[in-house]
């Protein structure tokens, strides 16, 4: 595994086809300050442009995955500073959704506000059984409207509003039942499970994964008739790709596929 530490508490690691970003400021509850979001954005862009990388994992050190934005930074800033912070937050979250490669959140501990938003934005989320998720801004007079954008698209709207109106945390079990996270594992198994999942996905055709992720996020916003119409044309288009032909041939002939990249 190749490691390279970036500044301001973010560690980047390359493990074969997998890129791992670790938030490493547990003493500050891994807050998503403007500076941290800018660095995170740069790392995601680096991952997206590197053809040798196929899956991104975002994880954190300490008992708090991320407590969201830095309230000291918010308190000291003016409206133009707040807009700059939220603009960057939108950019970073949209990078995760729009990158053609899968992004996995590996959560151990508490994810609140923009930290919960980060989990909800990732394509897949694996969490330890002791993890909790909350949007508690209402308790300090700052409603979690931006985290609610991702949250309300990951879980039913009534539960999303319940979380935002009360600020109460939900357990990993409830988060999984609602669809906020994909898998729950014991704390001791989190790293191994995340690693297994990332490398399992990385074995598939990068082109097929890219086309599939893009198509998924397009169709999910359509009504069902338009979604099916869109999906059938996407399937026809995908079948023309060399990796589809190779994968079907390999399955029929009982051999391992040889992807184009």
Tell me, yes or no, whether 42 and 103 share the same domain.
yes
Residues 6+ apart with CB under 8 A from 45: 95
Structural domain containing residue 35 = 2-202
29, part of any domain: yes
According to the model, what pLDDT value does residue 5 have? 55
What are the beta bridge partners of residue 125? 105
Tell me, yes or no, whether 98 and 227 share the same domain.
no
- pLDDT by residue for the chain (261 residues), tens digit each? 665 656 678 999 999 999 999 999 999 999 999 999 999 999 999 999 999 999 999 999 999 999 999 999 999 999 999 999 999 999 999 999 999 999 999 999 999 999 999 999 999 999 999 999 999 999 999 999 999 999 999 999 999 999 999 999 999 999 999 999 999 999 999 999 999 999 999 999 999 999 999 999 999 999 999 999 999 999 999 999 999 999 999 999 999 999 997
116, part of any domain: yes
CB 138 within 8 A of CB 166: yes
According to the model, what pLDDT value does residue 150 have? 97
Q: Exposed, middle or buried: residue 116 (CB in 10 Å: 0-12, 13-18, 19+)?
A: buried
260, part of any domain: no
Tell me, yes or no, whether 98 and 147 share the same domain.
yes
Q: Residue 53 belongs to a domain with what CATH number?
A: 3.90.226.10
257, part of any domain: no
According to the model, what pLDDT value does residue 261 have? 75
Q: Total domain count for the chain?
A: 2
CB 254 within 8 A of CB 202: no
Tell me, yes or no, whether 106 and 42 share the same domain.
yes
Q: Residue 239 belongs to a domain with what CATH number?
A: 1.10.12.10
Q: What is the 3-state secondary structure (H, E, C) of the chain?
A: CEEEECCCCEEEEEECCEEEEEECCHHHCCCCCHHHHHHHHHHHHHHHHCCCCCEEEEEECCCEEECCCCHHHHHHCCHHHHHHHHHHHHHHHHHHHHCCCCEEEEECCEEECHHHHHHHHCCEEEEECCCEEECHHHHHCCCCHHHHHHHHHHCCHHHHHHHHHHCCCEEHHHHHHHCCCCEEECHHHHHHHHHHHHHHHHCCCHHHHHHHHHHHHHHCCCCHHHHHHHHHHHHHHHHCCHHHHHHHHHHHCCCCCCCCC
Strands 103-107 and 55-60: parallel
């Amino acid at each position: 595994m190749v490691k390279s530490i970036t500044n301001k508490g973010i560690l980047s690691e390359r493990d074969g086809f997998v890129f791992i970003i670790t938030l490493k400021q547990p003493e500050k509850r891994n807050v998503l300050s403007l500076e941290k979001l800018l660095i995170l954005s740069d790392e995601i862009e680096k991952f997206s442009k590197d053809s040798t990388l196929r899956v991104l994992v975002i994880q954190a050190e300490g008992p708090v995955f991320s407590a969201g934005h830095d309230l000291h930074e918010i308190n000291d800033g003016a409206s133009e500073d707040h807009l700059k912070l939220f603009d960057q937050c939108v950019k970073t979250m949209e990078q995760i959704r729009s990158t053609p490669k899968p992004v996995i959140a590996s959560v151990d501990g508490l994810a609140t506000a923009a930290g919960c938003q980060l989990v909800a934005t990732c394509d897949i989320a694996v969490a330890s059984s002791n993890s909790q998720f909350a949007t508690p801004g209402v308790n300090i007079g700052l409603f979690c409207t931006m985290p609610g954008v991702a949250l309300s698209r990951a879980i039913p709207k009534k539960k999303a509003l319940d979380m935002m109106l009360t600020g109460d945390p939900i357990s990993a079990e409830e988060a999984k039942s609602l669809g906020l996270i994909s898998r729950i594992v014991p704390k001791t198994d989190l790293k191994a499970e995340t690693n297994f999942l990332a490398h399992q996905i990385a074995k598939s055709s990068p082109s097929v994964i890219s086309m599939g992720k893009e198509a998924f996020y397009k169709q999910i916003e359509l009504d069902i008739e338009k979604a099916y119409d869109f999906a059938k044309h996407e399937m026809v288009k995908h079948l023309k790709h060399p990796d589809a032909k190779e994968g079907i041939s390999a399955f029929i002939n009982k051999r391992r596929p040889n992807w184009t990249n």
